Amino acid sequence: MTKPSIVDVPTATDGPANAIDVTDSRTGQTHKLPITDGAIRAADLKKIKTADEDDPGLLSYDPAFLNTASCRSSITFIDGDKGILRYRGYPIEQLAESSSFLEVAWLLRKGELPNQQEYDQFVHDITYHTYVHENMRKFLEGFRYDAHPMAMLNSSVAALASFYPRSRNIFDERERDISIIRLLAKVPTIAAFCYRHLKGLPFVYPDNGLSYVDNFLSMVARMTEPRYEANPIFSRALEVLFILHADHEQNCSTSAVRAVGSSHVDPFSAMSAGIAALFGPLHGGANEQVLRMIEEIGHVKNVPQFIEGVKGGKGKLMGFGHRVYKSYDPRATIVKELADEVFKVVGVDRDLEIALELERIALSDDYFKSRKLYPNVDFYTGLIYRSMAFPTEFFTVLFAIARTAGWLSQWEEMLLDKEQKIARPRQVYTGYDERAYRRQIKL
């Protein structure tokens, strides 16, 4: 079994010429900061001090990490200006066209495509770990009928840590292997159980005779038939959507998994932090918000007025904009083509017309163009999920199933990276200086 690539610690800079000379106007001193892979080390700023012997040295200040690399990674490459996304060097378009989610999950973690024996063993292992402990069923039954499925999924994945205490041996590769297999295998089962709970339907147990995606669809949709037959259009659409959502370098939820994982907690607990971050409407929760926005617009004739409202500061055009992509999100292009195929089967509906009109107007309006706001992966995915009869609040759960592969690959890369240690950022203190305590109340 090939070891995941350990991120090599850079020993030399990009050459002696690659450095910046920083002159401190407070002291007149000039400091040479080496440049490695297009970055300076924030720690090098500490040597820039005033004459005051108590001066701790300079910090870098970067709220929301707009221009700060938290790690070195070889998993996913994004070029936001060119709209490029590659997993381990393979263009997302080619993987979406020809790969499977489990092949991509292997690739993300191992760095290379699996050979047939590796792939068959991986599929076997995932297939035979899809069941969850019966206590998980009782745990899920404890939620209200209208609980949000992301809250249920987050709690359930965190609860899995209580079933597998040996998963805390995170530096034992065999324990990491089985934990990663358990999460890839059981998250779809738990997600489907959440769906059935919301519908008031009995849970459907895994069918090990089906593919990863078809088994998930069976656990979601099977009723009294002996074996569920997935619509091949929906099955392929979901496979592609899982591939597209599998990883995306250091996004908010992956950063959460890396930060929590850096305390050396088990992977179940680290991943539940990622699910929590993904739940947010600015991140994975956006696909749910896109549908709610479209429902609020109600008719294509209301689109111009809605756009004017956004431009006037009344809310955001959900599914548009991205921290990294300042051009079209390459995943959105693929999802839009997928939507066309799905809607040929289910028929073009009013909501797709609204989405297409939103995009048409936004892409020609200077407010959005000047801010480089283009459709992101979430803009069209909700329309496909809705056409597959998934409820709006379930869309982000589907995102989480796919991102499990990326979160765990990034988690392991962080653990094996010799430069990494517990994440503990600094701050620029803006509070009071020392002052004497004088109580004003009676305790």
Residue 121: partners with Cβ closer than 8 Å, 6 or more residues away:
none
Residue from the set 378, 393, 412, 417 that interacts with ligand SDX by CB under 6 A: 378
264 as an active site residue: the answer is no
The residue among 195 and 395 lying less far from ligand SDX, judged by its C-beta, is 395
**400 binding ligand SDX? (CB under 6 A):** no
**336 binding ligand SDX? (CB under 6 A):** no
Angle between helices 134-141 and 173-199 (to 10 degrees): 40
Q: How far is the CB of 253 from ligand SDX (least distance, A)?
A: 6
- Residue 25 identity (one-letter amino acid): S
**Distance in angstroms (rounded) separating the CA atoms of residues 178 and 182:** 6
**326 binding ligand SDX? (CB under 6 A):** no
The residue among 193 and 407 lying less far from ligand SDX, judged by its C-beta, is 407
Per CB under 6 A, which region of 83-91, 186-194, 211-219, 244-252 contacts ligand SDX? 244-252
Q: How far is the CB of 435 from ligand SDX (least distance, A)?
A: 36
Could you report how far apart the first and last alpha carbons of the chain are, in Å? 63
CB 354 within 8 A of CB 300: yes
Q: For strands 30-34 and 90-91, give the pairing.
A: unpaired
Per CB under 6 A, which region of 16-24, 175-183, 219-227, 376-384 contacts ligand SDX? 376-384
**310 binding ligand SDX? (CB under 6 A):** yes
**318 binding ligand SDX? (CB under 6 A):** yes
Residue that is written with structure tokens 């956004």 in the block: 310
Q: What are phi and psi of 138, to 5 degrees?
A: -65, -40
Residue 345's region, left for phi above 0, alpha for psi from -120 to 50, else beta, is alpha
DSSP state of 280: S
Residue from the set 95, 191, 307, 377 that interacts with ligand SDX by CB under 6 A: 377
**201 binding ligand SDX? (CB under 6 A):** no
**69 binding ligand SDX? (CB under 6 A):** no
Residue from the set 47, 144, 227, 371 that interacts with ligand SDX by CB under 6 A: 371
Query: Choosing from 322, 329, 351, 417, which is the catalytic residue?
Result: 322
**323 binding ligand SDX? (CB under 6 A):** yes
Residues 245-264 that bind ligand SDX (CB under 6 A): 248, 251-252
247 as an active site residue: the answer is no
Query: Choosing from 31, 129, 133, 283, which is the catalytic residue?
Result: 283
The token duo for 66 is 């707009």
Q: What are phi and psi of 421, to 5 degrees?
A: -150, -175
133 as an active site residue: the answer is no
Q: Which is it for the CA torsion 249, 250, 255, 261, positive or negative?
A: positive
The residue among 219 and 286 lying less far from ligand SDX, judged by its C-beta, is 286
The token duo for 440 is 């004003």
**Distance in angstroms (rounded) separating the CA atoms of residues 120 and 188:** 19
**96 binding ligand SDX? (CB under 6 A):** no
Q: What are phi and psi of 21, to 5 degrees?
A: -95, 120
Per CB under 6 A, which region of 126-134, 158-166, 220-228, 310-318 contacts ligand SDX? 310-318
**Distance in angstroms (rounded) separating the CA atoms of residues 392 and 399:** 12
Residue ranges that bind ligand SDX, judged by CB under 6 A:
248, 251-252, 282-284, 286, 310, 316-323, 371, 373, 376-378
Q: Which residues are catalytic?
A: 283, 322, 378
